[in-house]
Structure 1
């Protein structure tokens, strides 16, 4: 285990957050949002400032430490882990602003909780010498509890998307989250029609202004890796839930409990091996990219292999959870089994753009043809 470290080198304890997430998972399943105490523990935790530059009070932590913290929370509850996976890397946005501007955006030293949308769903236009941002962005996890929202729009010339950092009070949150899985993540839509300072925009594909391995690590790769880590933890949750269920369930017409049946044994062994292999690949590619970032710029091949591993992890976790759900038979349809909840969560995780078809295409484009997209 590689714990998050404070700027003084002390380990940061995530136990209280994990305990609250575990205790209140059912609240998220029923209400479509995490329990208030879980949101509070998350907001107060160091996870929200894990990637924030140290000059602004952040941890400026190492990537392996960030991923391990997200993994711990996701194993307690994938919905809480998803929120952690969104908030943890978002502090790196501030590394792309000059220090005075970043301080203005942060607004007086309050611990920031940054949420955002990966879709450039907004429009930006100049009116009377000022910029006006408008639009509606879907799937903004934890927007209601964030202090800053990072919302993207394409420039009028059709260039790369630009993210604008807005305080929470300037956006409207629409309570429209009603998904199959990750029920507690409250990934609602937000909208705004407001003026924004031009200097408060961030180009994620541009270089960071803070020289540190964390900010040399590809930001899209970091965001994809946190998502893949939630998938990994969800797959492990499913394996453990199946192992608890199997001795206690006797399928109809079977000669013994589920754990004594050849089909269930085969499925469990196969699922465990698949998840372990995908986890090993994710760990190796993340370590390779991090090692490169420690030494200097991260090469395009490391970036491509990292994205491919993140996508593979998300696909594999969904397949593992589906295999176990099917192997458990009718016992898995009951929510108390936890197997069905893991499958629903993994299914939704695997649909995120950073680890779905677009991510695989970016990785394959480079590995096959040497074409590296800006958002690789």
Structure 2
């Protein structure tokens, strides 16, 4: 029991140290379109890549609420770091869908650290059966942390049935394109990757298939976990915008006004609306995560809860983007300066809200399940 306490404290200390370093190096990502080298090193050795990894692969098997909260904490320090964590932390659960012997092979690394798994959800590659292997080829866009990953999970239609599978490819077999130029989350280094290589057919998973481990973490819907982590980044970004806006309103006095922005009725209205919207959306998302996790502790998560989880994550992500946009507008010319983080929050939230899991497609799947009961397999 004593050992468990010390491990938990060590993990917490590691995340706090990572947050402090991320706040210090945050401008580096904006300038170089990648996190500072020290942050990548700290992230790789932090608990996040092990959070959802099976224990027999050196993982931690954290509870889902803990994973989501850790991602949110990192995003409060730097949204780009939070975005990387939102991808890498859930990716450990991919491994739970492999046979144990295969999982150990896939997770083997030269430095004894867990793999840093990144990938692209777009099934834009091709997989051609070649004996016990497939020849995987294609170019996949928007692979977060591509220059730093040690393992790529790349999607392509299964040559047997045409359904999407994800193949695990070592970073040595892919070429990273230096093409990340988005307006927000610039430090996430979400570049395209290209490969043409042979991959053992068994080194692949279907993310909507049940995990081989019957544990609460792996009974929790994987796409739901991923979308909740993405929503946590958006939530943290909007919280940062709210705090920055509040500070700005108390220190800025418009040229033709007799008081600071905080005393102007339109600004007060915008602030109250923003915090109310964000609070309500965050509460809905927290409730959806808690409800699905409670069900996972007992057995399979009901389809209705899976749909609510996706809907709530999407709603929080979209609400966060709206809040950042509205506060940026309400700040007027005072918000355009880079010294104030409002413009970067606006950009980061806009990019986060466009991820496929929380954008229109995610809402459509949730709505289809809630209305017709036909989309559970994709949730």
Q: TM-score with structure 1 length normalisation?
A: 0.96
Structure 1 stretch 95-104 or stretch 253-262: which is displaced more? 253-262
Q: What secondary structure does 1:199 align onto?
A: coil
Q: Do 2:129 and 2:159's aligned partners in 1 also have CA atoms closer than 8 Å?
A: no
Are positions 1:190 and 2:199 aligned together? no
Match for residue 171 of structure 2 among 148, 168, 171: 168
| RMSD after superposition | 1.4
Q: Do 1:7 and 1:54's aligned partners in 2 also have CA atoms closer than 8 Å?
A: no
CA–CA distance in structure 2, aligned partners of residues 373 and 366 of structure 1: 6
Q: Do 1:6 and 1:59's aligned partners in 2 also have CA atoms closer than 8 Å?
A: no
Match for residue 330 of structure 2 among 295, 314, 327: 327
Q: CA deviation at 1:273?
A: 0.6
**Which residue is equivalent to 1:353?**
356
CA–CA distance in structure 2, aligned partners of residues 6 and 92 of structure 1: 24
Match for residue 295 of structure 1 among 295, 298, 318: 298
Q: CA deviation at 1:147?
A: 1.0
CA–CA distance in structure 2, aligned partners of residues 68 and 163 of structure 1: 27
Report the number of matched residues. 372
Q: What secondary structure does 1:289 align onto?
A: helix
Q: Do 1:74 and 1:82's aligned partners in 2 also have CA atoms closer than 8 Å?
A: yes
Structure 1: gaps spanning 5 or more residues: none
Deviation track 1:307-360 (CA, whole Å, cap 9, x = no partner) reads 000000011000100110001000111111101110000000110000000000
**Which residue is equivalent to 1:262?**
265
Deviation track 1:181-229 (CA, whole Å, cap 9, x = no partner) reads 1011100000100000001011111111111100000000000000000
Q: What secondary structure does 2:142 align onto?
A: strand
Q: Do 2:167 and 2:205's aligned partners in 1 also have CA atoms closer than 8 Å?
A: yes
CA–CA distance in structure 2, aligned partners of residues 114 and 6 of structure 1: 28
Match for residue 121 of structure 2 among 118, 129, 133: 118
Match for residue 308 of structure 1 among 311, 325, 347: 311
CA–CA distance in structure 2, aligned partners of residues 128 and 257 of structure 1: 72
Q: What secondary structure does 1:314 align onto?
A: helix
Structure 1 stretch 207-216 or stretch 6-15: which is displaced more? 6-15
**Which residue is equivalent to 1:54?**
55
Q: CA deviation at 1:158?
A: 5.2
CA–CA distance in structure 2, aligned partners of residues 6 and 199 of structure 1: 38
Are positions 1:12 and 2:11 aligned together? yes
**Which residue is equivalent to 1:250?**
253
Q: Do 2:45 and 2:113's aligned partners in 1 also have CA atoms closer than 8 Å?
A: no
Match for residue 279 of structure 2 among 273, 276, 280: 276
Are positions 1:150 and 2:153 aligned together? yes
CA–CA distance in structure 1, aligned partners of residues 161 and 188 of structure 2: 32
**Residues 7, 92 of structure 1: alpha-carbon distance in 2 compared, 3 angstrom cutoff:** farther
CA–CA distance in structure 2, aligned partners of residues 15 and 222 of structure 1: 22
**Residues 128, 209 of structure 1: alpha-carbon distance in 2 compared, 3 angstrom cutoff:** closer
